[in-house]
Structure 1
Amino acid sequence: MSAIDLTGQNFEQTVIDNDIVLVDFWASWCGPCRQFAPTFEAASEKNPDIVFGKVDTEAEQQLAAAASIRSIPTLMVFKKGHLIFNEAGALPPQALDSLIDQVKDLDVDKAIAEAQATQGDQAPGDPQ
């Protein structure tokens, strides 16, 4: 399945309604974005069980601002509605494939529970 265009109107619902969503924030004038596009598209074809979305940061400036995009391309990955990866820069194909494998294997509910338990162990005022 090829990547879909995400907008301010469908972004949140897409993230909520799908188990895994990869989002590429890009712009047509961005050279690294254009270089990453075929890698992202190829990954979408290899992983029909995952939603791949693209956000044109020029057309969707409010969405890009809400997502705190400071550099493009930026790749965000959501699992079960939770942001689990957020990194600027174009990934090579092998790195993107590895990331997708890690996301599929991640038990996001367990990771959240462990993070909450760790935060609960700290006394107020303790350094992070």
Structure 2
Amino acid sequence: MAVENLNQDTFKTALDDERPLVVDFWAPWCGPCRNFAPVFEAASEAHPDIRFVKINTEEEQDLTNAFRIRSIPTLMVFREQVMLFNQAGALSAPQLEQLIGQIKSVDMAEVHRQIAEDAAAKE
């Protein structure tokens, strides 16, 4: 699968996808972002069951602000509309592979149960 570029209008649809969503917040002038791009692209080719997307922080400032992006690249991972990972800084290929393995192994039923318990405790 090729990496997709998202904007404010297409992000919500991507978040609703049943596949895990790996988001790379980047900018064209960012050297570490450019260095991470081939690693991100290779991972997208190796994992067609995951949706890999990029958000240009220069062009999509509403999304950048909504997610409080302060450093780039920033990588976020969502499954079933739940953010499971959020970290600034480029990952190496082995680090990204390890993260993908961890994301795939998360018991989402347990995650949703914990979210519901936390919400109930706040009431």
Q: Give the TM-score normalised by the residue count of structure 2.
A: 0.91
Matched residues, percent identical? 47
**How many residues get paired?**
123
Residue in 2 that maps onto 1:99: 99
Query: 1:121–1:82: structure 2 CA closer, same or farther, 3 Å change rule?
Result: closer
Matches of 2:121 and 2:58, distance apart in 1: 43
* 1:64 equivalenced with 2:74 (yes/no): no
User: Structure 2: how far apart are the matches of 1:121 and 1:23?
Assistant: 31
AA at the equivalent of 1:24: D
Unpaired segments ≥5 residues, structure 1: 123-128
Query: Rg bigger for which structure?
Result: 1
What RMSD over aligned residues (CA atoms) do the two structures have, in Å? Answer: 1.8
Runs of 4+ in 1 over 3 A off after TM superposition: 114-122
Cα distance in structure 2, aligned partners of 1:30 and 1:12: 25
Alignment of structure 1 residues 1-128 onto 2, 5 Å: 1-114=1-114, 116-117=116-117
**Bigger fraction of residues in helix:** 2
Structure 2: gaps (5+ residues): none
1:10 aligns to what SS in structure 2?
helix
TM-superposition CA deviations, 1:75-128 (whole Å, max 9, x none): 000001111111100000001001001111101221231355468679xxxxxx
Distance 1:64 1:121 in 2: 31
